[in-house]
Structure 1
Amino acid sequence: MQSRLHAHIGTIRQLEILLAVHDKGGINEAAKALFLTQPTVSIQMKKLADAVGEPIYRLSNRKLVFTDVGLEMVKTAVEVLDSFARLDMSLGNLRECKTGTLRIAVVTTSKYFIPHLLGPFCEQFPEIDIQLNVGNREQTIERLKQGIDDFYVFSHPPIDADFNSIELLQNPLVAIAHQDHPLAKQPHVSLTQLCQAPFLIRETGSGTRHAIEGFFKEHDVTPNVKMTIESNEAIKHCVMAKLGISILSAHTLTYGGQHGLVRLPVSALPINAKWFFVWSKSKRQTLIADQFLNHVQTNGKQLLEDELQRNGIDT
């Protein structure tokens, strides 16, 4: 017998609200993003839960956590809304205006150069909308597994996900210190000296930390970790405040500004990480996503390399 679940689940708008609650992490945040009242969003979520006869989410330590049923609904909502998006883009393509939405999720450090990839593409297709989600590695991996976005950018893609990828750029990780730090005045800095100084490191799960821990393990040394910080910008400000030294992507200095920071001349550095452009094998690409992938593989990659070289980063 044909399923009649769709007759109970409700409207496309309810699915949009469901995705907003999931992506924003709460009822209030989703209401603000959709310009709706909090009660309106709550009512629509309750209707969806009643329709499937199971809770969609629960509260844990005052944080909204989606149930397995809720996550399955999110996955289906993405597929349904993408179908309408593909129809919209197909019709737009027939009208030769390439309308639609391109969804990209990137890890935090790549936010510095991704706009330089998007800029020329948006000039070519000015009618499209861009949804750019910036999160840590674990958050971006979760979005990849759920197939929420068209493309993803990682420095260390997951090994257990079904995806295609291409190498996008070099991602050199360099040691940084305040310009007045004693190590900044030395012509050469050893790994031993680096590890003796108070060290600031990204949180567990970040791609930068993953690369740094592999580097220290390879060289059989242990840093003197004094602070764990969940943001590249926060690490930079802590280094500027003379709280310690760190290892960060050279992109954070080039595009984010150096403000009294210097690269330490450590012979074993930089760590030669890479950026990867990733997309799900199982997710059917929209027309505009196909256009963007072609842009990345042709002009986009070269444009990024040229931009980084102009800013002093070796690619």
Structure 2
Amino acid sequence: MNITLKQLKILEAVVEHNSYTDAAKALFMTQPAVSMQIKQMELQIDLPLFEREGKQVSLTEAGSELLHYARMIRQQLDEAELMLEELKGLKRGKLHLTMASTANYFAPQLIAAFHHDYPGAQVTLAVTNRTGLLDALNNNTTDMVIMGKPPKDPRLAGIRFMDNPLVVIAAPSHPLAKQKKVIPLRDLADEPFIVRERASGTRIAAERFFAMHDLQLTTGMEMNRSEAIKQAVMAELGLGIVSLHTIEMELALKRVVVLKIEDFPIMRQWHIVYRKGKRFAAIPEAFKNYVLEHAEALINIVPLENNHSDNP
């Protein structure tokens, strides 16, 4: 049997209007065209679909059975159309997001807020270092990444969405933590710093900052996670330079202090980075727009002036 969807629609219209002529008008067809399509279906099944009584038509038993299946098929098609419209309407969809490890301190808040508005979104999240971020972009294995400074690559697009202040932290027992005045940057020249790995954006920004002031960042220890740097600072192994977004809990518990350093913080930005020309599905596009619109309002950090070491 090779009955088309168009023919089943014609069958339903004839039954609804109880007339070939009225069905043709509703379908914007001619009456002979409707009659021909009904005749072709009857030839397909080798059974009559309608019985004529003057201008009126009524279904045969075969017609009733075929109408039943026509309606079932239409219902399934309507459900399929609804599902597709829901995808367009952002009720469902997938997002593959890759982010710098430092961004993991605030990004879950963004994802949770986004998921509240788009509960059908399925988010796959990968957290990695800068090298991993660049690999994901180069290999096109992610929709987008959240990172600091985007690489200079003509194939990539980066959009700033939020400030990322880098601050100097110390253990509360450190001698510099007791100073009330702004500490000259040169006073840090001989202080050992616990730093990120060389490929880290934070490390690159810190070394560039010191070099701009004709100073060299003294490396005491090297860690590949901000969490490890904080632990080392709390253990009094040296100073650290970290994103202010990463120390909310430690500041609240007074386990670290932010030092008042000349020309600090180093003001960087968070970016959404993706491959140019990438065609986003509905959910990734919605997430990108959501972050650009809401990130700064959603991510609340204690103002920098309230985080310094001279607070009681």
Shorter-chain TM-score: what band? 0.5 to 0.7
2:173 aligns with: 180
Aligned with 1:114 (options 89, 107, 131): 107
1:268 to 263, 267, 278: 263
Alpha-carbon spacing, 1:217–1:127, altered in 2? closer, same or farther (3 Å): same
Is 1:303 matched with 2:294? no
Aligned-partner SS, 1:285: coil
Q: Measure how far apart 1:92 and its partner are.
A: 6.1
Aligned to 1:98: 91
Correspondences of 1:48-59 after superposition (within 5 Å): none
Q: Secondary structure at the match of 1:118?
A: helix
Conserved? CA contact 2:167–2:266, under 8 Å: yes
Alpha-carbon deviation of 1:281? 1.4
Aligned equivalents of 1:104 and 1:257: distance in 2? 29
Count of residue pairs brought into register by the alignment:
224
Q: How does 1:203-282 map to 2 (within 5 A)?
A: 203-254=197-248, 259=253, 260-282=255-277
Asked if 2 retains the 8 angstrom alpha-carbon contact of 1:112 and 1:255, the reply is: no
2:150 is matched with which residue: 157, 160, 169?
157
**TM-score, structure 1 as length reference:** 0.66
Q: Which residue matches 2:52? A: none
Q: Equivalent residue of 2:206, what SS?
A: helix
- Segments of structure 1 that go 5 or more residues without pairing to the other structure are 1-86
The whole-number CA distance in structure 2 between the counterparts of 1:170 and 1:244 is 26
**What SS does the aligned partner of 1:294 have?**
helix
Go from structure 1 to structure 2 and tell me whether the alpha carbon gap of 1:313 and 1:265 turns closer, same or farther (over 3 Å shift).
closer
CA distance in structure 2 between the partners assigned to 1:242 and 1:184 by the alignment: 12
Following superposition, the deviation at residue 214 of structure 1 comes to: 0.8
User: How far apart, CA to CA, are the structure 1 residues paired with 2:125 and 2:250?
Assistant: 18
CA contact (8 A) 1:90 1:287 kept: no
User: Structure 1 residues 161 and 146 mapped into 2: Cα distance closer, same or farther (>3 Å)?
Assistant: farther
Describe the shift of the 1:189–1:110 C-alpha distance in structure 2 as closer, same or farther (beyond 3 A).
Answer: same
Indicate the RMSD between aligned Cα atoms, in angstroms. Answer: 2.4
Contact 1:117 1:303 in 2 (8 A): no
1:89–1:287 Cα contact (<8 Å) kept: no
- Identify which range, 89-98 or 245-254, moves more after superposition: 89-98
- Cα pair distance change 1:95/1:206, threshold 3 Å: closer
SS at match of 2:145: strand
Seen in structure 2, the aligned counterparts of structure 1 residues 216 and 97 have a Cα distance that, compared at 3 Å, is: closer
Quick one: structure 1 residues 94 and 231, their matched pair in 2 at CA, closer, same or farther if it must change by over 3 Å?
Answer: closer
**Superposition deviation, residue 213 in structure 1:** 1.0
Amino acid at match of 1:115: P
**Judging changes above 3 Å, is the alpha-carbon distance between structure 1 residues 90 and 168 closer, same or farther for their aligned structure 2 residues?**
farther
1:52-111 deviation line (CA, Å, top 9, x unaligned): xxxxxxxxxxxxxxxxxxxxxxxxxxxxxxxxxxx9997362696722211111111111
Task: Give CA deviations for 1:249-298 in whole Å, capped at 9, x if unaligned.
Answer: 11111256564100111122110111111221132211111222222233
Letter matched to residue 201 of structure 2: G
Deviation string 1:162-219 (CA, Å, 9 cap, x unpaired) is 1222211111111110000011111232222212112111101111011101101101
Tell me if structure 2 keeps the 8 A contact 1:102–1:129.
yes
Q: Is the 8 A contact 1:177 1:239 kept in 2?
A: yes
What's the counterpart of residue 184 of structure 2?
A: 190
Residue 286 of structure 1 corresponds to 281
Distance 2:140 2:201 in 1: 20
Q: 2:136 maps to what in 1?
A: 143
Instruction: Work out which of the residue numbers 291, 303, 307 in structure 2 matches 1:312.
Output: 303
Residues 101, 130 of structure 1: 8 Å contact kept: yes
1:118 Cα deviation after fit: 1.3
Aligned-partner residue type, residue 247 of structure 1 = I
Q: Show the counterpart of 1:124.
A: 117
Do 1:105 and 1:152's aligned partners in 2 also have CA atoms closer than 8 Å? yes
Correspondence 1:35-46 to 2 at 5 A: none
